[in-house]
Chain A
């Protein structure tokens, strides 16, 4: 597999935008790409394109070697099992506890009972500081906790590709550190490709292999953190930070 994600001359209308989005992007397997930019710039759109939630009018979207336009429902469903996604609303099942929410993908796809998954689910919850919340329902969680649960659920199937919309939104400083540690650990072990959007500065940017600055439905600048921090383009400067990584 040459590219984990390939957006080739993609063109599509943007919600509320005057100009259509025009995107070209290639992400090699195992890369951590951070997408930064203002609200409604098209960052989330890139993630939605990658997971088949949005379809382009022109161009090709290839994810994990599959052209999304050629997939039927069953094939798309199979592909999505290899992708972990966290959207801005966490989308947790409101009538399920934190534990059963995280275990749901495994239970559904493998038929294993919830009770038999403690060895697999609890370490993930512990790593994210959620072990004491395992029997809570989503309504009892804070915004940050709910997002961490959604992240745990996305990681539980050991995805080849992880897509996270606004990774640090709603998280306190400790939770951000835990999430950073966990993602780096998963990346190291599973060689997972990561596309993460951020609209505020974060130390996590320094961990990214590349940073893409998205604005008006286009990728305006892309490069390594050190290169971009050295000569930040005007609009990109507020997103870069000198805060040391953990």
Chain B
């Protein structure tokens, strides 16, 4: 039992060290002066942003609208019963903008793009595409990892703010059918409740979630060795670890910023 615990602890530290090394390599590639491969990497970054960001807009819109409708309807109908009409803005900011917006966006990105990245890289590893790239003198950290991390971080950041906007505004429009609160009152309440800290914390979450998801998914994809059966195993593991680490990061940021 003690041996098992010790092994798990060592494995956990090794895993975190590997992820940290991947983050370091990505940052180094991002700031290193070498020009070789820049254009090719930029092309990969744009393609990944198109898939992770632009292609995700319909599903993000749908989920944001539904969440906004639920939260705004509940807040708008329940709070007046207890005399808390004035708290509608606060509830929306706390629930949607601070917490559920970033988290649900991260889960959508993990489900759509994170799994796709792990599967793609895993299949590339088995088909020896990664080895072939290395043999051409193409740096994996520059051509494979860095573009994906940059693209996922930027996409995550934009998607979170998009999610928040759609959830708050779209949710209000849909909920307007049942609510009696006029839009300007609603907008004013939200604007008053929203502080610069909220915006900065949301942005920080976007950067941290994006980095974590991309690095974890790349790491698991590149960890596939020689068999196609490893690909779904690594994909599942990447998904679970991404969700867990995003939740841990969320706690860390929330506690640091608001506690």
Instruction: List A residues at the B interface (Cβ < 8 Å).
Output: 51, 53, 73-74, 77-81, 83, 85, 87, 89-94, 104-105, 107-109, 111, 150, 153, 157
Contact = CB atoms under 8 A, between A and B. Distances in A.
Contact of B129 (A74, A81, A92, A111): A92
Interface of B: 34-40, 123-124, 127-129, 131-139, 143
Given A81-B136, A111-B38, A53 B143 contact: no
A40 to B, nearest CB: 16
A186 to B, nearest CB: 17
23 contacts: A53-B131, A77-B138, A80-B134, A80-B136, A81-B137, A83-B135, A85-B135, A87-B131, A91-B129, A91-B132, A93-B124, A93-B129, A94-B124, A104-B40, A105-B138, A108-B36, A108-B40, A108-B136, A108-B138, A109-B37, A111-B36, A111-B39, A157-B136
Interface of B is mostly: helix
B121 to A, nearest CB: 12
A87 B127 CA distance: 11
Contacts of B35: 111
A51 B128 CA distance: 15
Q: Which of B38, B123, B134 has the most CB of A within 10 A?
A: B134
A111 to B, nearest CB: 4
Sorted from nearest, which 6 A-B pairs have the closest CB atoms? A91-B132, A81-B137, A80-B137, A91-B128, A89-B128, A85-B135
A105 B124 CA distance: 17
B95 to A, nearest CB: 40
Given A77-B138, A111-B35, A150-B132, 20 more contacts: A51-B135, A81-B137, A87-B128, A87-B131, A89-B127, A90-B132, A91-B128, A91-B129, A91-B131, A91-B132, A91-B135, A92-B132, A93-B133, A104-B40, A104-B138, A107-B39, A108-B143, A109-B37, A109-B137, A111-B38
